[in-house]
Chain A
Amino acid sequence: MTVIEALPATELCRRYDPGAFDFDDTTQLEDLQEPLGQDRAVEAIRFGIGVRHQGFNLFAFGPPGTGKTDIVRLYLEPEAAAQPLPDDWCYVNDFATPHSPRALRLPAGRANELAKQMANLAEELRVVISSAFESDDYRTRLDVIMEQYKLRQEQVFEELREKAGKKNITLVRTPVGLALAPVRDGQVVEPETFARLPEEERETIKNDIGGLEGDLQSAVRMLPELEREQRQEIRTLNREITSFAVGHIIDEIRGHWAGEEAVISFLNEVQAHVIDHADVFRLTNEQMAQSVPPGMMPDIGQQRELVIGNCQVNVLVCHDDNNGAPVVYEDNPTVDNLLGRVEHRAEYGNLVTDFRLIKAGALHQANGGYLILDARRLILQPFAWETLKRELRSREIRIESLVQMMSLSSTVSLKPEPIPLDVKVILVGDAMLYYLLSQHDPDFRELFKVPVDFDDRIPVTEDAIAQFVRLIATHARNKNLLPLDPGAVARVLQRMTRLAGDAERLSNHVRSLVDLLSEADHWASIRGSKIISSDDVEKAVAAHIHRSDRIRERTQEQFERGTIILDTAGTRVGQINGLSVLQLGDFAFGRPSRITARVRLGGGRVVDIEREVKLGGPLHSKGVLILSNFLAARYTRDQPLSLTASLVFEQSYGAIDGDSASSTELYALLSALAETPIKQSLAVTGSVNQFGEVQAIGGVNEKIEGFFDLCRQRGLSGDQGVLIPAANTKHLMLREDVVEAAERGEFHIFPVRTIDEGIELMTGVSAGEADADGVYPADSVNGRVQARLQAFSEAARKFAKSGGNGKEDGSGEEDADD
């Protein structure tokens, strides 16, 4: 029988020697400039930033809390700062098609300058145009025009009046027009007087009036035409005056933008627009009322604001900070926040908009630089992912609301001219999302060609320890925490190794590290210390666990009160202590479970009761199937496995998955078949393969500690311990109390490589080795199992021969159950 020795205490946990550190506290250490253990990711970032071809956007993925965004920024920002500033972008009114505002590209940092110039222009226009129209010159010229047309009108009527007067006829103003009437002595002839006139005279008057009516009608018809001509002439005068007044102001602005064709063209249009709408600058509402028919009279103040507004510049992006290419992080990547939006304002109960209400989105801000987005948030925002892909593919930013995209409304809105897009997007997310997108989104690999894979652990080497110590110092300094003494640093390293779940690795999970340091800083501050000691770190770890382990305590309580039945002493056939891990948030703990097995004659099937009731996951089922085949292959190679066995996790009411209990279940099954009792002072974890080799599992530390806690609660007997896969030895980072118990010989950790090693430890009986014929010694566990299976096989054969009545000769029954 092979003797498996328990692991020495030194192998149960890696300890870091504070004496090996050559500093008094972390203030003496230099900052760590490079991220630790992220060489692959850093290389990818550098490559991704450098290559400017389309589609070489980055997806940074890795476990949450590994500092992905910070590391990306660490490399991105200096690179961006060294790059030239991208151009500024504005939206201006398109005077020909106002619903399609025009995008205006300007040299970096000059957009605000133009906006200010145009704002000043608006102010100056009010003054300059008003002054121009107040000038004596203008008034005189206007009076001349008015007088000319007045004279022309009056001349027409005066000629008619004179012509009529010669025939004793006068022009009379009626309420709505003019009429011709006979006069005598300056008074209109009264009807009675007219009636007394001789017939001949009356006819003459009527004929005279009739003859003059044609002239009167022509004169009246001429009025609108004369007025139109007068208005046209006044308009021409106004344009001339405005053009002169405005021209030199706009020329001054033009002087600042020599060579900028787009700006010059815009200024030309502004000048024409102002000249066309000069009236709004020079007239009051009252004056406007005189020149425009009442029904057509606009509100002059409103019109003035509209004309001035149309000359303004809406600055979307202005890079006047001289910080190189922009690096933008959009925390809430909705469609609007990415693309920008067209806002509206309420005006007399209606929602109206214009180019001034176009707001920039993150893509505008980041254009010419870099945009960092949280991938998960991006995916979760309706249409944001599809929108981002569309913009990246088309390489232009088109501002469209969700309503427009989905054609939910036909309301007239703005359609701003698209802006060319040149941006590198860095998505930050988890690996699952990256792989899902890679697998299912055909666009993804076209657009995000640079994976940046972050690791959360590094191998423990002397160099890594030295760097990690500096990393601790760097974070302490950056977060304004107290410095750590060497003991505290060693304890932090130990904790980070435990978090890695591997004695040969250090977790570089930044958030966990910073949280640990912050909590230790808190405890050190409370006790008034100027330095963090190992006790502070210890307290931080304990307090952190305490805050999260209510469920673990409740579970322990159930063991203590006998609610959950589990033996930690004695022996039982077909019953074994298995170990599982419960993960609750960021806290995991081990929970022992009783696993039982029963066997009877049957058709070669091992029933996994967990699977039958749909509480067992696929990996668990896989483990059970493996052990079934192990039984058949090892013990009944030449005959059918005439066995029905059942396996169950007792008092387990939740889902179970993973194959880490498969060796445990096999031990229980062998015990049941061999009718050999198993020591209840031991617990087991490990998966098994078809050859009976025990394989590594996860959560080994939590599992051991879970069983240890139960044993300690009941009193450590010195026989208790846990069988673990030998391959998990390197993962051991057990709690101090477990290590101390092992050191005192009160608790044991046994590394096993095979089922045979394990069954010997569990039963104290030799496993037995098969001879050349495959026969195991009769008194060994394997021999007993083999004999039992042969007996089942024989019984099955007889049963079949008897036609199913259980008697070879057709009489009697045999209960094959154990």
Chain B
Amino acid sequence: MTSADIPRYRRILLQMDTSSHCRETLDAAIEIAAGLQAELHGIFVEDSDLLSVGGLDFVREFSFSSATARVLDKQTLDAQLKALARSARRQLEQAGTRRKVSVGFQTVRGDFQTEMANASRDADLIIAEGTGRLLSRYYRAWLPGRTPARRMQRPTLLLKGGKPLVKRFTLICDSADSARKCLRAAASLLPDEGRDLTLLPSASKAADAETLAKALAGAVAEAGLEARIAAPVNLAAEAVLQHIGASDRLLVVAGDGALLRDEAEAHRLFESRHPLLLVH
């Protein structure tokens, strides 16, 4: 693979929501866009499920700040969503001006998964915040839709807690094909020389590990990138996380790979503190 073969991310789609990490996620995303000299488009989805809730006059909302109940009427819900969208847009525009990054923003209403899939068609890279406790105040709308994130046909970067992008990547590879995908996506995301790429061979059978490692070596050589190949681990999220240890690393993993096809394994990776780059 030559540098010409490495795709350049020109248009980035940032999923924006109401979480408390939104601002940090935006800052991290704007830095990535600035580094890649890419456009950053924010999308704020007004989920149809939520709008349906607003139409049910007997549904009451319990706010996190007071735990008091109040009727959630459609008008209030509309106003809340519009206010949140305006806030997200303002933050995006300010960040774009500050970092001299071209930005765009859209608010869409409808099914979350569908709207995200539609919006991502023109995107080279999708960035979203992937942190959160499922139902706590840090709950993120994206999380129930992790399945679509895996199915997105675009590289999808799930940040954790809005932390800036680290330059140390661990590429979880269960095949030479996944290694090629991961290498290409990693090189696109961080084209500079300061990156640290480690390929982690993950095989379900110990017997396959050696063969896999050799295949990965071939993929690295083919890519012409500087990368280390770590000792093979079992194809399991726990084994991968144990291998990484305490250091903060970006996990690059094939969205349609064996690891993410297993819901429990996928959940473990999503819940870890490491950001994820899902590639296809």
Selected interface stretch from B54-62, B179-187, B194-202, B209-217: B54-62
Give bound CA distance, A220 to B72, whole Å. Answer: 17
Is A550 part of the binding interface, using a Cβ–Cβ cutoff of 8 Å? no
Interchain nearest-CB distance for A228 vs B (Å): 14
| Interface residue range, chain A | 35 or more
Is A161 part of the binding interface, using a Cβ–Cβ cutoff of 8 Å? yes
Residue among B133, B136, B137, B246 with max Cβ neighbours from chain A (10 Å): B136
Q: Which residues of A contact B163 (CB under 8 A)?
A: 286
Interchain nearest-CB distance for B96 vs A (Å): 21
Q: Which residues of B contact A187 (CB under 8 A)?
A: 49, 52
Q: List 8 A-B contacts (CB under 8 A).
A: A154-B133, A173-B50, A177-B65, A179-B59, A189-B56, A190-B52, A213-B62, A286-B24
Closest residue on chain A to residue B144 by CB atoms: A173
Q: Which residues of A contact B56 (CB under 8 A)?
A: 181-182, 189, 191, 194
Interface size on B, residues (CB 8 A): 35
Closest residue on chain B to residue A161 by CB atoms: B135
Is B81 part of the binding interface, using a Cβ–Cβ cutoff of 8 Å? yes
Q: Mark B31-66, 1 if CB is under 8 A from A, else 0.
A: 000000000000000000110110110111111110
Give bound CA distance, A158 to B267, whole Å. Answer: 15
Give bound CA distance, A463 to B55, whole Å. Answer: 122
Q: Mark B132-147, 1 if CB is under 8 A from A, else 0.
A: 0111110101000000
Known: A153-B136, A174-B50, A188-B49. A217 touches B69 (CB 8 A): yes
Query: Given known contacts A190-B52, A206-B58, what 14 new A-B pairs fall within 8 Å (CB)?
Result: A143-B273, A153-B136, A173-B135, A175-B81, A177-B61, A177-B62, A178-B64, A180-B59, A181-B49, A191-B56, A210-B58, A220-B62, A220-B67, A221-B67
Give bound CA distance, A157 to B24, whole Å. Answer: 27
Known: A154-B133, A173-B141. A191 touches B61 (CB 8 A): no
Closest residue on chain B to residue A136 by CB atoms: B246
Q: Mark A169-212, 1 if CB is under 8 A from B, else 0.
A: 00111111111111000011111101000000000001001100
Give bound CA distance, A221 to B163, whole Å. Answer: 29
Q: Which residues of A contact B24 (CB under 8 A)?
A: 286, 289
Q: Which residues of B contact A206 (CB under 8 A)?
A: 58
Question: A: which residues have CB within 8 A of B?
Answer: 134-136, 139-140, 143, 150, 153-154, 157-158, 161, 171-182, 187-192, 194, 206, 209-210, 213, 216-217, 220-221, 223, 286, 289-290
Q: Which residues of A contact B64 (CB under 8 A)?
A: 176-178, 220, 223
Give bound CA distance, A171 to B60, whole Å. Answer: 11
Q: Mark B158-182, 1 if CB is under 8 A from A, else 0.
A: 0001010000000000000000000
Closest residue on chain B to residue A143 by CB atoms: B273
Interchain nearest-CB distance for B27 vs A (Å): 9
Interchain nearest-CB distance for A222 vs B (Å): 9
Contact (Cβ within 8 A) B53 A139: no
Closest residue on chain A to residue B52 by CB atoms: A188
Interchain nearest-CB distance for A130 vs B (Å): 13
Closest residue on chain B to residue A170 by CB atoms: B49
Closest residue on chain A to residue B161 by CB atoms: A290
Closest residue on chain B to residue A294 by CB atoms: B20
Give bound CA distance, A650 to B141, whole Å. Answer: 115
Contact (Cβ within 8 A) A188 B133: no
Contact (Cβ within 8 A) A176 B63: yes
Give bound CA distance, A177 to B59, whole Å. Answer: 12
Residue among B77, B135, B245, B246 with max Cβ neighbours from chain A (10 Å): B135
Contact (Cβ within 8 A) A139 B59: no
The residue that B60 contacts in the complex, of A153, A175, A190, A213, with Cβ under 8 A, is A213
Closest residue on chain B to residue A151 by CB atoms: B133
Contact (Cβ within 8 A) B58 A191: no
Q: Which 6 A-B pairs have the closest CB atoms?
A: A191-B55, A157-B135, A177-B63, A188-B52, A220-B67, A175-B80
Q: Which residues of A contact B72 (CB under 8 A)?
A: 174, 179
Residue among B60, B62, B139 with max Cβ neighbours from chain A (10 Å): B62
Contact (Cβ within 8 A) B62 A217: yes
Give bound CA distance, A181 to B58, whole Å. Answer: 9
Give bound CA distance, A500 to B134, whole Å. Answer: 104
Is B188 part of the binding interface, using a Cβ–Cβ cutoff of 8 Å? no
Contact (Cβ within 8 A) A154 B62: no
Contact (Cβ within 8 A) B137 A216: no
**Restricting to B79-116, which residues have a CB under 8 Å from any CB of A?**
80-81, 84
Is B18 part of the binding interface, using a Cβ–Cβ cutoff of 8 Å? yes
Contact (Cβ within 8 A) B49 A175: no
Q: Which residues of B contact A192 (CB under 8 A)?
A: 55
Q: Which residues of A contact B77 (CB under 8 A)?
A: 174-175
Give bound CA distance, A209 to B62, whole Å. Answer: 13
Q: Which residues of B contact A174 (CB under 8 A)?
A: 50, 53, 61, 72, 77, 80
Q: Which residues of B contact A190 (CB under 8 A)?
A: 52, 55
Contact (Cβ within 8 A) A178 B135: yes
Interchain nearest-CB distance for A818 vs B (Å): 110
**Restricting to B234-270, which residues have a CB under 8 Å from any CB of A?**
245-246
Contact (Cβ within 8 A) B62 A178: yes
Closest residue on chain B to residue A189 by CB atoms: B52
Give bound CA distance, A161 to B56, whole Å. Answer: 19
Interchain nearest-CB distance for A218 vs B (Å): 8
The residue that B135 contacts in the complex, of A135, A154, A182, A191, with Cβ under 8 A, is A154
Give bound CA distance, A180 to B24, whole Å. Answer: 30
Interchain nearest-CB distance for B143 vs A (Å): 9
The residue that B137 contacts in the complex, of A158, A189, A223, with Cβ under 8 A, is A223
Contact (Cβ within 8 A) B135 A139: no
Contact (Cβ within 8 A) A181 B52: yes
Closest residue on chain A to residue B132 by CB atoms: A150
Give bound CA distance, A210 to B139, whole Å. Answer: 23
Contact (Cβ within 8 A) B53 A223: no
Interchain nearest-CB distance for A181 vs B (Å): 5
Q: Which residues of B contact A286 (CB under 8 A)?
A: 24, 163
Give bound CA distance, A154 to B138, whole Å. Answer: 12
Q: Which residues of A contact B61 (CB under 8 A)?
A: 174, 176-179
Closest residue on chain B to residue A160 by CB atoms: B135
Q: Which residues of B contact A135 (CB under 8 A)?
A: 246
Closest residue on chain A to residue B136 by CB atoms: A153
Known: A136-B245, A150-B133, A290-B161. A217 touches B55 (CB 8 A): no
Interchain nearest-CB distance for A403 vs B (Å): 46
Q: Which residues of B contact A140 (CB under 8 A)?
A: 246
Q: Which residues of B contact A182 (CB under 8 A)?
A: 56
Q: Which residues of A contact B245 (CB under 8 A)?
A: 136
Give bound CA distance, A158 to B135, whole Å. Answer: 8
Q: Which residues of A contact B67 (CB under 8 A)?
A: 217, 220-221
Interchain nearest-CB distance for A803 vs B (Å): 118
Contact (Cβ within 8 A) B60 A139: no
Q: Which residues of A contact B273 (CB under 8 A)?
A: 143
Give bound CA distance, A177 to B50, whole Å. Answer: 12
Give bound CA distance, A188 to B50, whole Å. Answer: 8
The residue that A209 contacts in the complex, of B18, B59, B246, with Cβ under 8 A, is B59
Closest residue on chain A to residue B135 by CB atoms: A157
Q: Which residues of B contact A161 (CB under 8 A)?
A: 135
Interchain nearest-CB distance for A173 vs B (Å): 5
Contact (Cβ within 8 A) A153 B62: no
Interchain nearest-CB distance for B124 vs A (Å): 27
Contact (Cβ within 8 A) A139 B246: yes
Known: A217-B67, A220-B67. A179 touches B55 (CB 8 A): no
Contact (Cβ within 8 A) B60 A179: yes
Interchain nearest-CB distance for B73 vs A (Å): 11
Interchain nearest-CB distance for A215 vs B (Å): 10
Q: Which residues of A contact B65 (CB under 8 A)?
A: 176-177
